[in-house]
Amino acid sequence: MLAGTSGWRTHLARELLKHPTLRMWTGRYVRSPLARSLFMNTVSDGEAAGTETQEWYRCSPDLLGETVKPLFIQSRLDSGTKAFLKRSIEKSGWMVTQLYHSFVSTVLSPVISRTSINGLLGRGSMFVFSEEQFQRLLRIDPEWRAERLLDLGAGDGGVTEVMGAHFKEVYATEVSGPMKWHLQRRNYKLLGIDEWQQTGFQYDLISCLNLLDRCDDPLHLLQDIRRSLVPSTGRVILAAVLPFQPYVEIGGKWQRPRERLRVEGKTWEEQVTSLSNEVFRSAGLEVEAVTRLPYLCEGDMYNDYYVLDDAVFVLKATEN
């Protein structure tokens, strides 16, 4: 079973707090009403967002491999990202709501997954890229349209919506019941985690956002994705949290996946190069573009938001 096609996206940032080996940027702790107001004005007005947000996009292209260096696209804090941060800061300040969420989470966590708890409460939305960043990565304009999008592990559909406007049909996989309900409300077509590869049709774009490190068989997943693309024109948009530290949740316990991807290097640039030149190529995929983006999660009563380092790739099938 491909564990990676479940709804990890909706709670990954909080879950990874359990693993100190992973680099985690915790959000600004802005509890003073005055300080919160000043920070929100900074986000809204487009002033310098500070060292923290600048670091989210930092890359040293000279440290990338020779074949990867010309494919790197420099991203920046844009209006879509600022809007998500502003909403997250506002919601984290709703103290009565946050206390209620904390209580419900404590009561339900022994019996249902955190993903499903977030779905029931309508919290924990994720942000991977804005519409502008998505279009720039794929080199498309706002009017571009294609037939089919498949979003693997779509969660509540918030990230799916960014991509979905460009497609006539939007398909999604998800295992959490409450998250499936959110996807159905958005009129997305749900497929089983062992069904999407066997529908009899192929996809113009498959998104695999922050699943590779939460999948028991990641190479198998990549190979299935490649086989499911429309020939020649089909593309994959794949995000991976770096440094790469794979874990899967089985029976409520976190453990190493049975299939290990060998991602070499210690820096963001070294691991991007290793993924590009070794992991993806072994699955019959090649990199067309790559950027560094923050993987953001809505905050709670402790932090205004959570953020991890993402590498976001556009991939295509290699020619046989």
47 pLDDT higher than 90: no
> Which is nearest to 177 in space by CA: 106, 112, 97, 271?
112
- Tell me, what DSSP letter sits at residue 21? T
Q: What's the pLDDT score for residue 13?
A: 43
The gap from C-alpha 20 to its chain's centroid, in whole angstroms, comes to 20
Q: Are 130 and 78 in contact (CB under 8 A)?
A: yes
Weakest mean pLDDT among 48-52, 123-127, 303-307:
48-52
From 11-20, 139-148, 190-199, 292-301, the region with the lowest mean pLDDT: 11-20
Q: Residue 8 above 50 pLDDT?
A: no
Q: How much is the average pLDDT of 147-176?
A: 92
* Residues 6+ positions from 263 with CB-CB distance below 8 Å: 244, 271, 274, 275, 278, 279
Question: Mean pLDDT, the chain, as a whole number?
Answer: 81
Please give the structure tokens belonging to residue 125: 């939305």
pLDDT band at 213 (very low <50, low <70, confident <90, very high): very high
Q: Ranked by mean pLDDT, which of 1-10, 18-27, 126-135, 175-184 comes out on top? A: 126-135
For 222-270, what is each residue's pLDDT tens digit? 999 999 999 999 999 999 999 999 988 665 567 888 898 999 999 999 9
Per-residue confidence (pLDDT) for residue 315, from 0 to 100 = 98
CA angle in degrees (0–180, nearest 5) for 296-299-301: 165
Higher-pLDDT residue of 75 and 32 is: 75
pTM of the model: 0.80
The pLDDT of residue 89 is 81
In the block, tokens 């709804």 appear at 7
Task: Answer whether 220's CB lies under 8 Å from 188's CB.
Answer: no
Provide the residue type at 302 as one letter. Y
Q: What angle do CA 277, 52, 61 make, to 5 degrees?
A: 30
